Structure 1
Amino acid sequence: MVETVAEIMARTGVLGIFLLMLAENLFPPIPSEVIMPVAGFAAAQGRLDPLAVFLAGLAGAVLGNAGWYEASRAVGQERVERFADRWGRYLGITGEDVRGASNWLTRWGAAAVFLCRCLPGPRTLISVPAGIARMNRWVFYPATILGTALWTGFLMLAGWWFQGRWEQIGQWMEPVGVGVAAAAVLAYVWHLWRTRKRWKREG
């Protein structure tokens, strides 16, 4: 995977970084934990301009997240609530859950989006509930840009510092990604158990 990313960048430069980060945030084929460290390494060697690398990565990630947000915003909360009330019992989701998530995002929107942008996994997924809840664009986009800039810059600097020692970067990132994914799975299983138990009582 590292070799593929390096080859794309060698042929396309910062445009390749932009396209890779855009694709990563639309349908994650290659994680940013690979893309930006490779780009940072190339910048450290003088093959790419550091500022251009950072801006290309940031622009690609923000545009990808904007796609998910705007698509979810077009669907809207009312449609999702109706779907959840009709079919949600198979997924452990109700219209009440959707409203609760929307209220939570309304209260903690900027902080939630900013924090999730710095976590493997949730950094893209948060765009969907934010769009469904129709979070104010003047809240969503600044929080997205700031959080994404922090994450993108960190990964780029990691590649710069480690000078191609990708396995060391992986040792940092992999436990974080596994931990976040495990916590998400456990939270969903717990929610599914609680929801089905409630439905049995009501049924």
Structure 2
Amino acid sequence: MAEWITRTIETLGYLGIALLMFLENLFPPIPSELVMPLAGFTVSQGELSFVPTIAAGVIGTIVGAFPWYYLGKIVGEERIKAWLDRHGRWLTLSSKDLDQSKRWFQRHGKKAVFFCRLVPGVRTLISLPAGLSHMPLPQFVLYSTLGTLGWVMLLTFAGFMLGENYDRVEQYLAPITKLVLLGLVLTLILWIFKRQRDRRGKG
């Protein structure tokens, strides 16, 4: 994959960066942790300029967030509620739980979108609840852009400073990504366990 990413940037320049970051949001296995540091290294070689490189990365990311955002809107709350009422017992979830999560997102949605754009592993997923909760598109774009700008600048600058060792950025971030995902999984497991215990107590 690294060779394909390298060829894409070498061949298409800024358009290639935007395309890769767009695909990264649709297919998370394409790592921004490799794309933007490589772009930063290319900037250090004088083949690209810093600001247009950042802009390409941000634009590609935001455009790539739209499919997930609109998927949440199209699938719709009622369909998901109906599915949860039929099958959610296997996950100890119900339509009421969805209502609670929606209220939480309405209270914290702006911060959630902003900070999740800075977190490896969940950057893409935050677009789905934003669409499901019908977060206003201008707000979604604004806070996604601000969070993405910080992430893209960090990766690009790291690649610029590391030079030919730009690929170490992904190595450094990989343990962090695994810890974040592990934390999310454990949180979900604990939450499900707590709900099961509470329901047994009520029964």
TM range (shorter): over 0.9
What aligned pairs does 1:79-118 form with structure 2 within 5 A after superposition?
A: 79-118=79-118
> Per-residue CA shift, 1:106-147, capped at 9, x if unaligned?
111111110000000111111111111111223211101110
**TM-score under structure 1 normalisation?**
0.92
What aligned pairs does 1:118-137 form with structure 2 within 5 A after superposition?
A: 118-137=118-137
**TM-score under structure 2 normalisation?**
0.92
Q: Which residue of 1 aligns with 2:192?
A: 192
Query: What is the identity percentage for the equivalent residue pairs of Structure 1 and Structure 2?
Result: 37
Q: Does the Cα contact within 8 Å between 1:36 and 1:159 map onto a contact in 2?
A: yes
Q: Which residue of 2 aligns with 1:64?
A: 64
Q: CA deviation at 1:185?
A: 0.8
Q: Which amino acid aligns with 1:17?
A: I
> Per-residue CA shift, 1:60-114, capped at 9, x if unaligned?
1001111100121122222212211211122332212211111111111111110
Q: Which amino acid aligns with 2:42?
A: A
Q: Which residue of 1 aligns with 2:32?
A: 32
> Per-residue CA shift, 1:130-188, capped at 9, x if unaligned?
11111122321110111011111111111001112135313431121011101011011
Report the CA distance shift for 1:96/1:107 in structure 2 as closer, same or farther (over 3 A).
Answer: same
2:140 and 2:35 mapped to 1: Cα distance?
24
Report the CA distance shift for 1:50/1:166 in structure 2 as closer, same or farther (over 3 A).
Answer: closer
Task: Give the count of matched residue pairs.
Answer: 203
Q: CA deviation at 1:3?
A: 2.7
2:154 and 2:197 mapped to 1: Cα distance?
43
Q: Which runs of 5+ in 2 are unaligned?
A: none
- Aligned pair 1:52/2:57, yes or no? no
1:199 and 1:81 mapped to 2: Cα distance?
19
Q: Which residue of 1 aligns with 2:11?
A: 11
2:92 and 2:43 mapped to 1: Cα distance?
47
RMSD of equivalent CA atoms: 1.7
Q: Which runs of 5+ in 1 are unaligned?
A: none
SS at match of 1:124: coil
Q: Does the Cα contact within 8 Å between 2:41 and 2:166 map onto a contact in 1?
A: no
Q: Does the Cα contact within 8 Å between 2:44 and 2:160 map onto a contact in 1?
A: yes
